[in-house]
Chain A
Amino acid sequence: MAMKTVFSRALVIFVSVVIFFPALLAQDIASFEKRITVKKLANGLTVVIMERPEAPVFSFYTRVDAGSAQEVPGITGLAHMFEHMAFKGTHEIGSRNWPAEKVALEKVEQAYAAYENENLKDVGRDANRVAELEKAWQAAVAAADDYVIPNQFGEIVESEGGVGLNASTDRDETTYYYSFPQNRLELWAYLESERFLEPVMREFYKERDVVYEERRMSVDSSPQGRLLEQFLGTAYIAHPYGRPVVGWPSDLRSFSATDALRFFRKYYVPANIVVTVVGDVKAQEALPIIEKYFGRIPAGPAPEPLRVKEPPQDALRSVVLHDKSQPLYVEGYHRPDFRDPDDAVYDVLADLLSKGRTSRLYRSLVRDKRIALAAQGGSFPGNKYPSLFFFFAAPTQGHTAEEMAKPIHEEIERLKTQDVSDEELESIKTRAKADLIRGLGNDQGLALQLGEYQALYGDWRALFRDIDEIEKVTKADIRRVANKTFREDNRTVAIIATDTPKSSAPAGKGEQ
């Protein structure tokens, strides 16, 4: 109410916002239509090109529709491992002598298989034999390493002016991206297709050590990493969303280059890949080049869909980590995947609860009760398969993780029993549109969004339709979805309960 008196002009503007937006977005889509070309190549690979000649550069985003959700126990972490291997080069790149290296790598695999067979034996494992076989495997690795030109793929990209060279693996997808000066389009098409045409698993086992260090950094040695691994492992009992993207320690110590290639052959088929290019390119000129190079990748059958479905949760689950670090609280509720008609309602809920200082969790837990440093809610960990709607809070000094539950549940109760205000709902819809616009201003961000929507919905225009769906969300939808989702028997809670050490730790090797 205070708002109206202080900002009388605001109301006028408010109305104009509502009227103005649809026109603006329609204009955007029309302008995008003119600048975007989509083509499915003969081998099934989808290419999206957007002309945006702001400066003589372009960015791309290769999205492979496979992530850690495609893994099974024993090979967890393999999608991510392959992502690392996609930087190791090809027959042409990274080898001093490919024919000889090929033979040497085959020997590595044979030696590794022999070693692992003995090493993993449940009964009759012979430690001496394991040591011998390990030595033989290491000798084979050393012999193969003689042929390697390390990091040549990355070196070519960087020395040709590539920036932002990186890749990312998540549960739903694996993505590869960087930006290049505009005159390197053909070089890019060569490099990007080459690495998915004939990737070579050189230096696999050293890279596996690197990935294990990544696990130590992001999970083992990180309080939040440990908490989230336990949280998801508890919330999911069947579906792979419950397993860490980086993989379990046992699997990171045992999967092989042969396993990685098998994963690659199954999932990196052109039908499973969308390549998006945004920047100073002309579709008419770029498409033939892209077609020429990416067309080399042989077609293959699209991988079969995931069979496993998470069974409905019918009892409260909780996990407590007694940790030395400060308390954290997270709770989650199963929600449907992104194709569900209520998907936009969850987006609205996330904004209502979390966005900025007017959000409900901020105002309740941070501003008024002063028991949390930060508090948010949203969907996690994926889109493609049924995910979770989470509530996360970091207590302020002197408050415990357990104290977060009550005020969070009060906010949930409010969502279930009281309609949100007109102002709140309008404000959320306005922000959704503005955020969309803010995301259209750079090549790499555009490539990511267009590629993501093209892959998931089969049409980049869904990026704009999402906004229409949000526009349709009503107060009744919010109450209905809150009642449907936020039930105690659908809840998983994970907390860090801080241990206060009674005595100081015994001296280790760091002391004098």
Chain B
Amino acid sequence: MMKRSALLLPALAVFALTLTAAAQPASQPSAKTADPQKPPAAGTLPRSWKQVPIPPLRAFAPQAPRRIELPNGMVIFLQEDHELPLIDGTVRIRGGSRDEPAEKIGLAAMYAEVWRTGGTKSKTGDQLDDFLEAHAARVEASNGLDSTSLSWSALKQNFDEVFPVVLDLLQHPEFRQDKIDLTKQQFASLISRRNDDLEEIASREAAKLAYGPDSPYARTAEYYTISAITRDDMLAWHHRTVAPNNMVLGMVGDFDSVAMEQRLRQAFEGMPRGAAVTALQVNFPGPKPGIYFVEKNDVNQSSIHMVDLGIERRDPDFYAVEVMNQLFGGGFSSRLFAHIRTKQGLAYSVGGGVGAAYDHFGVTSLAMGTKSGSTAAGIEALRKETADLITGKVTPMELKTAKDALLNSFIFEFDSKEKVLAERMRYEFYGYPPDFLQHYRAGIEKVTTADVDRVARKYIHPDRMAVLVVGNAREFDRNLATFGHVTTIDISIPEKKPEK
């Protein structure tokens, strides 16, 4: 009876239905008590939740990982956790898909895949697979916008065998051609499937509208960019990025951190420093306002996205924006959820807010899925919510509910050793102060209704937003042209590089 842990394809796994589709908002402790309480008399039960006593939260000091900086610039975090006999870790290396050349989009993703599957000088990827699976261990590389990560998970008693695989991959990757060919075919197949799913189309095209279609933050791989990638490109990428001064390593599990430090020093101190990978300068022109449409005639629901550029997380307005996002489009009590889902029944999935990324502008986005026949009504509903937000005032009650939610759930930002490690690694990677999280609480506490009103007017501009509809136009309640000029986006997949 292992159904729950079986590796089902996402397609089959999603068949259980959940209450909400939207991700839960960024969360956050609280030694505060809720509403003033009138404790009930002994032996009777409170009629109202307001009478349930809430004692102070148990004092808790999360365990900080040991931070080590090697002379060659590599930063290591060691987090002991002796609950289970596991040793897991990850090496995050600067350089990701935003750093790849425009004519070779997909290089960083393909590099990450073939890095592992292509094996090392002495072992093929298939041999690594056999070895790791036999020990129930995993070593996998993954690619992101700004980095590639090589991660592992091993039972404690196998760590001495598994960790050398990680080192071997870092030092002697082979990128064998058969796996390059396999990966190219797989990536091309993924491209051929990219217009099957409504939400996949909508989120891809919405990002292109927010950042611009050729922006390193939104562009997508094509058949011709995939086929242009060579083994030499991957080797060059590896040698350019895999240098200690571009890496942050984090390890969590059942080990002694003093002994582990010695071991890691031996493994990495001899690695020569490389050229620092610095992010490219990218323009953020912002979206061209208007209505954009993608036809998909095998669906009965439209996906609507309204997008604009957001902010950086280090922006002083971040805290006020967090509170605004929570009350506007965050949880069950948010305006978008209450008005568009609960009261109007227009959507199952609805949410949004001003996006905040660590080292570039995030995307501000309002999104919903509604039946084809209420597409225009959906756009109107989103527009009304944005208009009400920037012309009206948030109420003290809304502010309190949102701040309580963020502050009382703050503990969940660091309720496991693994999370504390991940947080520290993230701040290290992006050059944020290590105590950024500690400031979060104070930052949220200070936010007033006036702050929320101010950031709403500052960052939400319905007239600047691009409105994207992906759906089945024949069933729409109104012609989209009644909202203004409609730009139709052609999403057909080009076989060759278009001539411009």
A residues neighboring B (CB under 8 Å): 2-3, 6-7, 9-10, 13-14, 16-17, 20, 24, 54-57, 80, 83-84, 87, 92-93, 145, 150-151, 153-170, 179, 181-184, 186-187, 190-191, 194, 203, 205-214, 216-218, 220-224, 228, 245-246, 280, 292-293, 296, 323-326, 328, 338, 343, 347, 350, 354-358, 366-367, 370, 373-374, 376, 378-383, 390, 392, 394-397, 423, 426-427, 430-435, 437-442, 448-449, 452-453, 456, 462, 466, 505-512
Q: List 12 A-B contacts (CB under 8 A).
A: A6-B123, A54-B415, A155-B332, A158-B401, A168-B18, A210-B348, A280-B58, A392-B9, A394-B189, A435-B5, A466-B1, A512-B486
Given B345, B407, B410, B411, which contacts A206 in the complex, CB threshold below 8 Å? B345
* A159 engages B404 (CB within 8 Å): yes
* B18 engages A380 (CB within 8 Å): no
- Sort A-B residue pairs by CB-CB distance and give the 8 closest, nearest first: A154-B332, A161-B408, A508-B473, A510-B473, A209-B345, A434-B136, A155-B333, A221-B299
Residue numbers in A under 8 Å from B96 (CB-CB): none
* A165 engages B84 (CB within 8 Å): no
Q: How far is the CA of A158 from the CA of B332 in the complex (A)?
A: 8
Known A-B contacts A161-B411, A217-B21, A280-B58; the reply to A9 vs B161 at CB < 8 A is yes
Q: How far is the CA of A228 from the CA of B17 in the complex (A)?
A: 14
Q: Which of B363-422 contact A (CB under 8 A)?
A: 369-371, 400-401, 404-405, 407-412, 414-418
* A56 engages B57 (CB within 8 Å): yes
Q: Which of B55-74 contact A (CB under 8 A)?
A: 55-58, 60, 62
Q: Is residue B14 contacting chain A, with contact meaning CB distance below 8 A?
A: yes
Q: How far is the CA of A324 from the CA of B297 in the complex (A)?
A: 9
- Closest A residue by C-beta to B196: A325
Known A-B contacts A54-B415, A223-B196, A397-B188; the reply to A13 vs B135 at CB < 8 A is yes
* B24 engages A164 (CB within 8 Å): yes
Q: How far is the CA of A213 from the CA of B16 in the complex (A)?
A: 15
Q: Which of B395-454 contact A (CB under 8 A)?
A: 400-401, 404-405, 407-412, 414-418
Residue numbers in B under 8 Å from A441 (CB-CB): 83-84, 86, 416, 418
* A2 engages B342 (CB within 8 Å): no
Nearest Cβ on chain A to B175's Cβ, whole angstroms: 16
Nearest Cβ on chain A to B372's Cβ, whole angstroms: 9
Q: How far is the CA of A433 from the CA of B155 in the complex (A)?
A: 10
* A442 engages B49 (CB within 8 Å): no
- Closest A residue by C-beta to B338: A150
Stretch in B213-221, B304-312, B474-482 with 4+ CB within 8 Å of A? B474-482
Residue numbers in B under 8 Å from A510 (CB-CB): 293, 295, 469, 471, 473, 476, 479-480, 486, 488
- Closest A residue by C-beta to B253: A441
Nearest Cβ on chain B to A145's Cβ, whole angstroms: 8
For B29, B53, B130, the residue with the greatest tally of chain A CB atoms inside 10 Å of its CB is: B130
Residue numbers in B under 8 Å from A423 (CB-CB): 134
Given A164, A218, A323, A328, which contacts B17 in the complex, CB threshold below 8 Å? A218
Residue numbers in A under 8 Å from B133 (CB-CB): 355-358, 427, 431
The 8 A CB mask of B325-351 against A (1 = contact, 0 = none) is: 000000111000110011111111100
Nearest Cβ on chain B to A342's Cβ, whole angstroms: 12
Residue numbers in A under 8 Å from B301 (CB-CB): 213, 216-217, 220-221
For A190, A203, A355, the residue with the greatest tally of chain B CB atoms inside 10 Å of its CB is: A190
Residue numbers in A under 8 Å from B415 (CB-CB): 54-57
- Closest B residue by C-beta to A87: B19
Q: How far is the CA of A266 from the CA of B85 in the complex (A)?
A: 44
Given contacts A206-B342, A210-B341, A211-B348, 6 further A-B contacts (CB under 8 A): A17-B158, A151-B333, A155-B333, A161-B409, A214-B17, A430-B136
For B20, B348, B370, the residue with the greatest tally of chain A CB atoms inside 10 Å of its CB is: B348
Given B4, B137, B193, B369, which contacts A213 in the complex, CB threshold below 8 Å? B369
B residues neighboring A (CB under 8 Å): 1-9, 11-12, 14-21, 24, 27-30, 34, 45-49, 52-58, 60, 62, 83-86, 117, 122-123, 125-127, 129-131, 133-137, 153, 155, 157-158, 161, 182, 185-186, 188-190, 192-193, 196-199, 293, 295, 297-301, 331-333, 337-338, 341-349, 369-371, 400-401, 404-405, 407-412, 414-418, 469, 471-476, 478-481, 485-486, 488
Known A-B contacts A183-B58, A187-B54, A441-B83; the reply to A452 vs B4 at CB < 8 A is yes
Residue numbers in B under 8 Å from A6 (CB-CB): 122-123, 127, 131
* B2 engages A347 (CB within 8 Å): yes
Nearest Cβ on chain A to B405's Cβ, whole angstroms: 4
* A183 engages B45 (CB within 8 Å): no
Residue numbers in B under 8 Å from A16 (CB-CB): 157
Nearest Cβ on chain B to A438's Cβ, whole angstroms: 7
Residue numbers in B under 8 Å from A438 (CB-CB): 84, 86, 153
* A170 engages B7 (CB within 8 Å): no
Q: How far is the CA of A376 from the CA of B454 in the complex (A)?
A: 52
* A434 engages B155 (CB within 8 Å): yes
Known A-B contacts A218-B17, A370-B182, A509-B473; the reply to A378 vs B412 at CB < 8 A is no
Q: How far is the CA of A383 from the CA of B186 in the complex (A)?
A: 33
Given B8, B341, B408, which contacts A160 in the complex, CB threshold below 8 Å? B408
* B49 engages A92 (CB within 8 Å): yes
- Closest A residue by C-beta to B138: A356
* A159 engages B370 (CB within 8 Å): no
Given A159, A181, A380, A395, which contacts B333 in the complex, CB threshold below 8 Å? A159
* A508 engages B474 (CB within 8 Å): yes
Q: How far is the CA of A83 from the CA of B343 in the complex (A)?
A: 18
Q: How far is the CA of A3 from the CA of B124 in the complex (A)?
A: 10
Q: How far is the CA of A162 from the CA of B473 in the complex (A)?
A: 40
Known A-B contacts A220-B300, A221-B198; the reply to A83 vs B19 at CB < 8 A is yes
Given A153, A207, A217, A397, which contacts B185 in the complex, CB threshold below 8 Å? A397
Nearest Cβ on chain A to B13's Cβ, whole angstroms: 9
For B185, B196, B332, B345, the residue with the greatest tally of chain A CB atoms inside 10 Å of its CB is: B332
Known A-B contacts A14-B134, A55-B60, A154-B331; the reply to A396 vs B185 at CB < 8 A is yes
Residue numbers in B under 8 Å from A296 (CB-CB): 45
Q: How far is the CA of A433 from the CA of B135 in the complex (A)?
A: 11
* A358 engages B129 (CB within 8 Å): yes
Q: How far is the CA of A155 from the CA of B56 in the complex (A)?
A: 21
* A292 engages B45 (CB within 8 Å): yes
Given A80, A190, A397, A466, which contacts B49 in the complex, CB threshold below 8 Å? A190
Q: How far is the CA of A490 from the CA of B361 in the complex (A)?
A: 55
Q: How far is the CA of A216 from the CA of B348 in the complex (A)?
A: 9
Nearest Cβ on chain A to B112's Cβ, whole angstroms: 15
Nearest Cβ on chain A to B167's Cβ, whole angstroms: 15
Nearest Cβ on chain A to B334's Cβ, whole angstroms: 9
For B52, B153, B337, B349, the residue with the greatest tally of chain A CB atoms inside 10 Å of its CB is: B52
Residue numbers in B under 8 Å from A7 (CB-CB): 127, 131, 161
Q: How far is the CA of A213 from the CA of B136 in the complex (A)?
A: 41
For B1, B135, B474, the residue with the greatest tally of chain A CB atoms inside 10 Å of its CB is: B1
Q: How far is the CA of A6 from the CA of B125 in the complex (A)?
A: 12
Given A392, A433, A448, which contacts B11 in the complex, CB threshold below 8 Å? A392
* B130 engages A358 (CB within 8 Å): yes
Nearest Cβ on chain A to B294's Cβ, whole angstroms: 8
Q: How far is the CA of A232 from the CA of B450 in the complex (A)?
A: 55
* A167 engages B52 (CB within 8 Å): no
* B18 engages A216 (CB within 8 Å): no
Q: How far is the CA of A452 from the CA of B206 in the complex (A)?
A: 40
For B2, B24, B86, B475, the residue with the greatest tally of chain A CB atoms inside 10 Å of its CB is: B2
Nearest Cβ on chain B to A460's Cβ, whole angstroms: 13
Nearest Cβ on chain A to B116's Cβ, whole angstroms: 9
Residue numbers in A under 8 Å from B56 (CB-CB): 183
Q: How far is the CA of A153 from the CA of B297 in the complex (A)?
A: 38
* A381 engages B15 (CB within 8 Å): yes
Given B8, B83, B199, which contacts A54 in the complex, CB threshold below 8 Å? B83
- Closest B residue by C-beta to A151: B332
* B299 engages A220 (CB within 8 Å): yes
* A222 engages B405 (CB within 8 Å): no
Known A-B contacts A10-B161, A373-B186, A392-B11; the reply to A217 vs B1 at CB < 8 A is no
Residue numbers in A under 8 Å from B348 (CB-CB): 210-211, 213-214, 217
